Structure 1
Amino acid sequence: MATYELNPVLVTAQRSVTKDMETPAAIEVLHADDLQKTGATSVQEALKFSTGIITHGQGPRNISQGTMTSKAVIRGVEKGTLVLVDGVPINQGGRYNLEDIPVESIDRVEVVRGGGAVLYGSEANGGVINIITKGKRANMVKAGFGNYGIQNYAASFQAGKLGFTAAYDHTGKIDHISAPTETTSKRSGAPRGLYYNIKRGEHANFNARYDFNDDLYVTHTYGRNSDHYVYKYTGIDNPANAGKEYKNVIHSTEENLTALHYTKNNFSANAFYNRRDQETKNASAKINTKKPENFDPSPSSISHDKTSYLDQTIGINFQNRWDFHKGSFMLGYEFQRDMQDKTINKGTSVTGKFYDRNVHSLFGQVAYDFTQATQANLNFRQTWTEADDAGNKYDKFTPEFVLMHHFDENTMVYGKVGQSFMLPTFTQLYGGGNIHGVPGLKPEKGIHYELGAKKSIGKNAYRVALYSYKIEDFIDANTKKWPDITYQNSDVKNTGIEIDWTRNQNENLSYRLGLTYSHPQKQEGKIDKHGVETKGEWHDYYGKLGFNAGIDYTRGKLTTAFNISYLGDRIRDDEPYASMKSQVFSDLNFSYKANENARFFLNIDNLFNRHDIISSSTSSFYNLGRNFMAGVEYKF
């Protein structure tokens, strides 16, 4: 998806603005035009055509199930993607809800592949997605409609120093979004043979920015999603209940992120507050403990319960860079106070839990020029926490060494080795809903290696990266008793190659190709009959072979864009680790610019009408069949 030009792309992968050709990392930059050409309504949808990213969903159009949200997995590290919005981290409890961020509010998205925990902190074991929102907004309204009850609306306005963007997306009723469950839940007593339907999915977002001056601005983002799932029964063990509703579940999330941003010369600082209110309401049929398939779905037997989570993060970060004759020195500090308030309502019974944790980080970079062509970076981070409710206290120093050489202004190579570190979340430690916490979980510790080369020749840009990593004590979801989930420490490793080629034929035609091959593996811990924990065998998971391609063509007022991605040699991350059908995403987008103000569009998603599994673990969730959205955008 990235567009490489003779004028170098500027990125912030090194916590400072640098040119792509001067950045020792595998990067992809999606500008607003690139996002529009994917036909995506959210960042999550747009990233499915990116090199080195596997998108993982809990339903079509990235509908989420409360704590089980969609993921953008970079280089096979499932929970190792750190998401920043204007430099502020939005990960809470391991979740980042990219499906709630509309493309209309975005200036560009920077994807940095590879462990970035040294410069950016915990949760960046796989990579970093940095979303930069728009400064000045166009005065615009947009509306689109499609099959499956799809509706999408957006508007943006600029009035002096204040700009804002609002968006709303709706998905209608969709049946059989998952395969039936194969086992009876030991925790809840739910029978096997339950599958999911969707009654509706809604996503709303509002983003505002006020510029006090050229150096200081404030942003606020409000997001809300609400998804109504219905669990229906196949009748596998009791035909009399076939097609009956076992449970109705409404998952809703509200998020508010307020941040103050300041940049002056080589100094930058952010202060932020992030609040996420999450609620799950259940209406369940009466359970038959002896014969789960004989559940009673009559209205008089329905029981109700509700689980609520309130996640809050208060934080600051600041850094300064000092230049000297042969390089520069950067030093920064980051503080986050993470809080979670969990409430469970079952009938007249109400229980509550509150957890909090203070996380401190001191980070820096020494950049040194051996010659005009050869440079080295020494990056470092010291992370420490104050004790949480279970007495967990963490302290870790993580370094990274980078060496790069420029043969000329259009050719560079680099190599780097670094460590990573990731803290367990409150949900992993203390549980919630169908998740059983493990207070003694260890933090993740990894080591990452990468060799890369970048070359631009005329209209062509080539990028190659070889990487290898091993992460010990990887925090892994154990779904053997699905839908009950526990967490355990495992080990993961991966070795792979990524190749990107882009050609800008002229101002009307460009095309791109990405290839990846990797071998992600996992070694899970096992407990024998004597209670002794041992290491199991290494097994494959996710997919080995990836391919993505796209072409953009403009003729007159019409722009046509086609994007496709393929993930093959897939392995289910659940015993017996069976192979899975390959996954193919495709999209065809037409945009007709009638005049300077009006644009008409038609987007066709899943062009080949494939029925693919978009999850990788125990449950099988499916993508949406061929769907379209047509609409108009008007600027004034």
Structure 2
Amino acid sequence: MEVVRNIPGFTLTASPTGNTYIGFRGVSKDNVAILVNGIPLNQDGNYDLESISTDIIDRIEVVKGGSAVLYGSNASAGVINIITNKKQGANKVLVGWGDKNKFKGAVNIATDKLQVSYSRQQSKDRGKVYQSNPTSFYMGDNLEKDSLNLQYNITDNLLLQYMYSKKISDCSRINNGKYAPGFHSDIQYHFGQMRYNNNDLSAAVYMRSRDWKYNTTTHQKGRNIGADVQNKWQLGKVSLTAGANYENENTKNTVGTDSAKRDSGAVFFMTETQIGAKTKMFLGAREAYVEESGSKFCPQFQILQNLGENENIYLNINKSMRAPNINEQWGTATQVMNPDLKAESGWNYELGWKKKFTDSDLLKLNIFHMDIDDRIYRAKDSASGLNIYKNAEKYRNTGVELSYEKALSKKFSYNLGMSYANPQQKTITSGQWERTDFKFGLNAGIGYQLDKTSANIFANYMAGRVNGTKPMLDINMNVAHRLTDKDTLKLTVYNLLNRDDIRTGSSSGTSGALLEERNWMLTYERTF
């Protein structure tokens, strides 16, 4: 999650089980596409970003704004694409200890073709982790997590990748100062793909699955299998990218319940045309089909104008869509089905400016407007009292985002970010515009580097929140020292001010995931 903390306009949603999801611009996890080498990580609205070892990551590409043409459903607010490293990584071991009975161990083994990473994390007695109302809390009694990452370069063009994670969490509940039974959660994820790349041709087959057991009452299993292919051609001054994908999805919620199944597919193209020496035009479209939800046509137009060697402006207009998650449409043990649930679709408009003043400072400014029809949201079913997903009439958000990065010297650097927006939703029930997330956000970071020692401090602030939720201020810091060329010590302190703020962006005012009590971890890493 650290990758988004310095991005203006990011928001989080979280559950008592410890699952945390990323959103941008007032819309939550299901409107940000999370990809690994271009393949979606999301399984029925769920994913585990923390299962990906940093040892296999080459870079992380973050795109804000509608990106449905190239990335498909769930990309109406942005995309996070994690690109893994095909080169041989470092062999290393890591061990760490902290308060709250925290432990972390990790090992990475790499050859020229094979890389295997395994990590184990656990913690106990984490304090309050989720607030249901001002007098009812979930307590983080126990959290255990195992992650395995494997990459094998079969040839220079063919990659096999597999990831696995298992998270066990136990929480008790405190109601009005008295102990109450909580829950036991066991979640397993599998993700695999075989990808072929040869110059401009890329093709992949993939699978992902999730198995969730909650107490003894809920057992939800789901899996996706699919294929993706795309190619790029140079046609004079025009670069054309075109492709197609297909996916089959299956989920089963309780023993004895029939599986819900559906197929989806899409075809798309994107052109890049050089118009003169300083102007580029992008034009593309995607036709997406989702069984039971119908087809959506999503066009995109973008113009990029260079104002100088280190300065440009752009205008991006596009239409995006989000298909309902299969459990939103067909229900669970604690949720009523809604077969008539429709896919979201809407227009995004964005004007941006980027200027690199010198080699040491960079400024970015974005102004955006989003307008979404049939926004999917969760409500209470009056007949059963259970949750049900419905389509809102409208969703809109207009805002501005500003970020600045500066290297003061070889020792000091800092970054600042700001966002101001007004996310609103109008439901069919109320017919009134209601705000859905915070208005004002700030993020800042300071870095220091001297010889073998580095230190960083990061701060995130949210204000103007819905339903009277108090502002959130989260400050974290880390200090690392290289003992030798192969040995490093690192101390990380979380929630430095020990605040108990609700950390999820969208909140009822009385419920949401809390900042964990101040805690720390000391790690030792050795490469070989």
Give the drift of 1:479.
Answer: 5.0
Amino acid at match of 2:164: Y
CA-to-aligned-CA distance 1:396-434 (integer Å, 9 cap, x gap): 111011111112231111101111111111111111132
Pick one of 282, 286, 289 that aligns with 1:377: 282
Pick one of 284, 305, 308 that aligns with 1:405: 305
Residue 20 of structure 2 corresponds to: 70
Instruction: Show the 5 A alignment for 1:106-117.
Output: 106-117=57-68
CA distance in 2, matches of 1:537, 1:425: 26
Instruction: Show the 5 A alignment for 1:240-389.
Output: 243-245=178-180, 247-281=181-215, 305-344=216-255, 351-386=256-291
The 8 Å contact of residues 54 and 76 in structure 1, kept in 2 or not, is answered as yes
The 8 Å contact of residues 445 and 459 in structure 2, kept in 1 or not, is answered as yes
> In the alignment, does 2:518 pair up with 1:626?
yes
**Structure 1 stretch displaced more, 404-413 or 597-606:** 404-413
Amino acid at match of 1:229: C
Give the drift of 1:134.
Answer: 3.1
- Gap regions ≥5 residues in structure 1: 1-43, 183-192, 235-241, 282-304, 345-350, 387-391, 527-534, 572-577
Residue 540 of structure 1 corresponds to: 435
Amino acid at match of 1:444: E
Identity percentage over the alignment? 27
Residue 390 of structure 2 corresponds to: 488
CA distance in 1, matches of 2:462, 2:55: 28
Amino acid at match of 2:356: S
Amino acid at match of 1:486: I
Instruction: Indicate the SS of the match to 2:497.
Output: coil
**Structure 1 stretch displaced more, 130-139 or 458-467:** 130-139
The two structures have a TM-score, normalised by structure 1, of 0.79
The 8 Å contact of residues 48 and 55 in structure 1, kept in 2 or not, is answered as no
Amino acid at match of 1:270: A
CA distance in 1, matches of 2:132, 2:494: 25
The 8 Å contact of residues 53 and 117 in structure 2, kept in 1 or not, is answered as no
The 8 Å contact of residues 223 and 251 in structure 2, kept in 1 or not, is answered as yes
CA distance in 1, matches of 2:401, 2:450: 32
CA-to-aligned-CA distance 1:110-156 (integer Å, 9 cap, x gap): 21111111221011111111112233221001111111122122111
The 8 Å contact of residues 158 and 197 in structure 2, kept in 1 or not, is answered as yes
- Any runs of at least 4 consecutive aligned residues in structure 1 with deviations exceeding 6 A, and if so which? 480-483
> Quick one: structure 1 residues 164 and 564, their matched pair in 2 at CA, closer, same or farther if it must change by over 3 Å?
same
Amino acid at match of 1:548: N
CA distance in 1, matches of 2:196, 2:143: 37
Give the drift of 1:46.
Answer: 4.5
Give the drift of 1:93.
Answer: 1.2
Q: Counting strand residues as a fraction of each chain, which structure ranks higher? A: 2
Give the drift of 1:324.
Answer: 2.2
Give the drift of 1:626.
Answer: 1.2
Amino acid at match of 1:562: I
Pick one of 396, 410, 419 that aligns with 1:516: 419
> In the alignment, does 2:50 pair up with 1:148?
no
- Gap regions ≥5 residues in structure 2: none
The 8 Å contact of residues 45 and 99 in structure 1, kept in 2 or not, is answered as no
Amino acid at match of 2:493: I
Give the drift of 1:226.
Answer: 1.0
CA distance in 2, matches of 1:223, 1:329: 38
> In the alignment, does 2:116 pair up with 1:224?
no
CA distance in 2, matches of 1:232, 1:416: 49
> Quick one: structure 1 residues 555 and 478, their matched pair in 2 at CA, closer, same or farther if it must change by over 3 Å?
same
**Structure 1 stretch displaced more, 370-379 or 93-102:** 93-102
CA distance in 2, matches of 1:179, 1:342: 26
The 8 Å contact of residues 329 and 364 in structure 1, kept in 2 or not, is answered as yes
> In the alignment, does 2:464 pair up with 1:569?
yes
CA-to-aligned-CA distance 1:483-514 (integer Å, 9 cap, x gap): 94211111211011111111123443321111
CA distance in 1, matches of 2:379, 2:313: 40
Give the drift of 1:393.
Answer: 4.4
Residue 597 of structure 1 corresponds to: 486
Amino acid at match of 2:497: F
Give the drift of 1:194.
Answer: 4.6
**Structure 1 stretch displaced more, 586-595 or 150-159:** 150-159
CA distance in 1, matches of 2:182, 2:435: 35
Q: How many residues align?
A: 520
The two structures have a TM-score, normalised by structure 2, of 0.94
Residue 19 of structure 1 corresponds to: none
> Quick one: structure 1 residues 262 and 606, their matched pair in 2 at CA, closer, same or farther if it must change by over 3 Å?
same
Instruction: Indicate the SS of the match to 1:125.
Output: coil
CA distance in 1, matches of 2:335, 2:9: 29
The 8 Å contact of residues 349 and 368 in structure 2, kept in 1 or not, is answered as yes
CA distance in 2, matches of 1:86, 1:223: 18
Q: CA RMSD, aligned part only?
A: 1.9
Amino acid at match of 2:289: W
